[in-house]
Amino acid sequence: MQTVICERLEAIRQRIRDLATEYGREAESIRLLAVSKGQPLGAIEQARQAGQLAFGESYINEAKLALAAFPDLDWHFIGPLQSNKTRVVAEQFTWVHSIDRVKIVQRLQRQRPAELAPLNVCIQLNVDDESSKSGVSPDELATLADAVSASSRLCLRGIMAIPRPASDLSQQRHSLARVAQHYQQLKSDGYPLDTLSMGMSGDMEAAIAEGSTLVRVGSAIFGPRSRAGRVG
């Protein structure tokens, strides 16, 4: 088990370097977030020992176990965020990728402790306009970007997206290219962004091809996750 996670992590790092070369990008411009949701704490420990320091969690209740066990790691919240769960994110995470409404921005601004650095924020863009998924539509991006920018305890870093699943590289690139366009547009509108959070185990190549600066990889590092959430 130990070597498996360590080897998969090294293989993903190598793949990121290879893809960067293939698509004419600097490998250092692409960060790897290890998505540990649904994984046992021992798996996080193994990835940590292999040098991985940034981890992503999607569910507050199971995240609390990981935060308590590894308070010094760099925790990114990437799941849907309900307003009654914002306090844990404000107090214990360094990033949140899934901001999709002003009310959440206001709560995080109030709850982020003064002694911590501002919470890094990505706005989640719903690029395929699927009514079932979270994220804002492109025409709501500026409103939310303004709300985050006006919040002293938050630092606007970029955009996150989870496009509709597609198996074909060119189809994947099509959705991700639109996310990248909105990101570039916000940058040219003057928002100082540096993070385009897109790409998972199944679409990492497409995401790197389209300019992702942070890939969120779970199963390709840890293997299949428990549907019942964190066990052990």
Binding site for ligand PLP (CB under 6 A): 35, 37, 58, 78-79, 162, 200-202, 216-220
* Nearer to ligand PLP (CB atom), residue 165 or residue 192: 165
Are 32 and 55 spatial neighbours (Cβ–Cβ below 8 Å)? no
Characterize the bridge pairing of strands 31-35 and 119-125. Answer: unpaired
With 0-12 CB in 10 A as exposed, 13-18 as middle and 19+ as buried, what is 140? middle
Query: Which letter, b or e, does each residue of 70-104 get, where b requires 16 or more Cβ atoms within 10 Å of its Cβ?
Result: beebebbbbbebeeebbebbbebbbbbbbbbbeeb
* Nearer to ligand PLP (CB atom), residue 77 or residue 191: 77
Q: Which residue is nearest to ligand PLP (CB)?
A: 218
Tokens, residue 214: 């942070």
To ligand PLP, the closest distance from the beta carbon of 147 in angstroms equals 21
Nearest residue to 140 via CA among 99, 86, 174, 112: 99
To ligand PLP, the closest distance from the beta carbon of 213 in angstroms equals 15
* Nearer to ligand PLP (CB atom), residue 163 or residue 218: 218
* Nearer to ligand PLP (CB atom), residue 35 or residue 90: 35
Q: Helices 141-149 and 169-188 sit at what angle, rounded to 10 degrees?
A: 50
Are 177 and 193 spatial neighbours (Cβ–Cβ below 8 Å)? no
* Nearer to ligand PLP (CB atom), residue 66 or residue 162: 162
To ligand PLP, the closest distance from the beta carbon of 75 in angstroms equals 14
To ligand PLP, the closest distance from the beta carbon of 201 in angstroms equals 3
To ligand PLP, the closest distance from the beta carbon of 101 in angstroms equals 17
